[in-house]
Amino acid sequence: MLKTEQTDIDALLRLSSQSSDFRTGTISLPNQQLYIAYYNTLIEQKQLQEFVIQPLQQCTLTVIQSLEELREWIPVDECEFTDKIEDIQSKLLKGSVIVRLHETDTVCGLIPLANKRGMRSNNDTENEFSVVGPKVGFVEDIVTNVSLLRAQINIPNLIVKEITIGSMSKTKVAVVYIDGVTNEQNVQTVEQRLKAIDCDVVFDSSELDQIISDNSASPFPLFVSTERRDRVVYALISGQIAVTCDGSPYFITGPSSLFDFFISPEDYYMPWILGSFFRIIRILGVIFSLFASAMYVGVMTYHYEVIPHNLLAPLVFSRLNVPFPPVLEVLFLETTIEFLREAGARLPTKIGQTLGIVGGIIVGQAAVEAALTSNILIIIVSLSALASFTTPIYKMSNTIRFLRFPIILLSAFWGSVGMFIGVCFLIVHITRLQSLGFPYTVPLFPLRIKDLQDSLIRSSFQYTKSRPDYLKPKSKLRYLPKPLKRRMDWDER
């Protein structure tokens, strides 16, 4: 478990100064100076000027002898003065400004100036919906996004390092991690790759995802891209690194494994049995989406003998008047589905939904009546399209839809042998992939038995107390579970 208690105020300020959003300064008075420190992502700058700096600069006292005298000049309620480091750390990370008379003082004045960034009604997630749990999403302002993270991870060990990228745009890029948890080598790797970028303009964090990835030629995303705060927070406390840029509502987190793209935050908001069940459903849905259409092509072209006799007659009758071979039939329907999806995504929401429903029904019914395709294939392709969206990460669903086409063509050329070749190429490819130098298929390959407890399934919280070993975190324990003691009513009698 991470320990964040500091021994004195200087240690707290040294740790906080590692973050780019931490500020220290002085307020000049007629005969002395006051020393202030704060996180600029957690306070309102306008309030700092109006309620602290300007009133103190107008102060007519010759010399301020004690911090208590500031109450008469600062028009802010709930000001506190203490030397307890726990209170100072807590208030600082909740949006207070630290004021000291001298740099060596241990007694600090705490002036609350917390902002309300990100707490508006329109920062819900747009593409990652959640039925259970918080629905707080990020926006296009990097200061707001860091503020949202600090509101959830309330420790000074949350380090934010700022890098400027883009010869024209001068875009601010933030590298976020937890000191004492994240492996320092991973942080250095991310910083080196970001600083090596030479481009004109950075439009979105998705561009950074492709540029700093270990293999930009792969269709598989090597970093998880998310707009949900709870997903980024979970990645940070697990020992991963989060990167975002100004103007983007998305964070990318890594090092990532293949199983990270099938994990939904909802898995942890419900009993572990249900969370494991739905996670397995997602994995099976993606496998079905990847191979269902290819299996239809292979069976209908080369392997009629594997079809049960009771199902053979309906299949033959369904394709009786179809003039095209199965591969053209499947490619026609798959392409039509992609046309509808792209059109629905580009049109306004209400029109896009109507187009998807009405267009799918009309085109599908017309295609069957015109003998361009069979009823059974429409069912398979429709289920395959639905199953491709079961993964919570949109980039992975795009990858699955793309990979269906080469596997369909291989199945059309060589039947089951072609499918086997496609599966082998796919397995070899993903086992060779790396994310920030870490294997993409871990913990399945290389095998990490302990990390399997939160990959294919979501185990009980009694068994997921440790951070993933493959990330090489500096602190391995996330929490210490205690056995639940159940006391029955009759035990008290």
Each residue of 322-348: pLDDT tens digit? 888 899 989 988 988 888 888 777 776
Do 157 and 246 lie in one domain? The reply is yes
* pLDDT band at residue 488 using 50, 70 and 90 as cut-offs: low
- Among residues 67, 95, 112, the one where a domain terminates is 112
pLDDT at 5: 43
pLDDT at 6: 47
294 within some domain: yes
290 within some domain: yes
Count structural domains, the chain.
Answer: 3
63: pLDDT strictly greater than 70 = yes
Can you tell me the distance from the alpha carbon of 327 to that of 342, in angstroms, rounded to the nearest whole number?
Answer: 22
pLDDT at 132: 80
Do 300 and 394 lie in one domain? The reply is yes
* pLDDT tens digits along 403-417: 999 999 999 999 999
Do 21 and 92 lie in one domain? The reply is yes
Do 249 and 293 lie in one domain? The reply is no
DSSP state of 485: P
Can you tell me the distance from the alpha carbon of 206 to that of 251, in angstroms, rounded to the nearest whole number?
Answer: 8
* pLDDT tens digits along 153-201: 999 999 999 999 988 888 999 999 999 999 999 999 999 999 999 989 9
33 within some domain: yes
Do 252 and 399 lie in one domain? The reply is no
Do 146 and 217 lie in one domain? The reply is yes
- Assess contact for 259 and 219: CB atoms under 8 A: no
**Structural domain that includes position 364:** 281-439
- Assess contact for 100 and 68: CB atoms under 8 A: no
For residue 306, count other CB atoms closer than 10 A to its CB.
Answer: 10
Do 150 and 216 lie in one domain? The reply is yes
187 within some domain: yes
* pLDDT band at residue 4 using 50, 70 and 90 as cut-offs: very low
13: pLDDT strictly greater than 60 = yes
Can you tell me the distance from the alpha carbon of 128 to that of 317, in angstroms, rounded to the nearest whole number?
Answer: 42
- Among residues 439, 462, 482, the one where a domain terminates is 439
Can you tell me the distance from the alpha carbon of 323 to that of 286, in angstroms, rounded to the nearest whole number?
Answer: 31
Average pLDDT, the chain: 86
Lowest model confidence (mean pLDDT) among 127-131, 205-209, 236-240, 257-261: 127-131
Instruction: Measure Cα distances from 195 to 172, 225, 234, 334 in Å.
Output: 12, 20, 26, 42
Section 48-59 average pLDDT: 84
Do 373 and 229 lie in one domain? The reply is no
35 within some domain: yes
Omega before residue 473 within 30° of 0, cis = no
48 within some domain: yes
Q: Where are the beta strands (DSSP E) in 126-215?
A: 158-165, 171-178
3: pLDDT strictly greater than 60 = no
486: pLDDT strictly greater than 80 = no
Do 288 and 435 lie in one domain? The reply is yes
- Listed in sequence order, the DSSP H helices in 93-170 are 142-152
253: pLDDT strictly greater than 70 = yes
123: pLDDT strictly greater than 70 = no
Do 332 and 372 lie in one domain? The reply is yes
460: pLDDT strictly greater than 80 = yes
Helix (H) or strand (E) holding 278: helix 272-302
Q: Taking the chain, what is the end-to-end CA distance rounded to the nearest angstrom?
A: 39
In the chain, % of residues over pLDDT 90: 42
Section 265-285 average pLDDT: 92
Do 154 and 99 lie in one domain? The reply is no
Do 380 and 420 lie in one domain? The reply is yes
125 within some domain: no
Record the tokens describing residue 143, joined without a space: 């200061």
* pLDDT band at residue 368 using 50, 70 and 90 as cut-offs: confident
172 within some domain: yes
- Among residues 223, 256, 289, the one where a domain terminates is 256
pLDDT at 114: 81
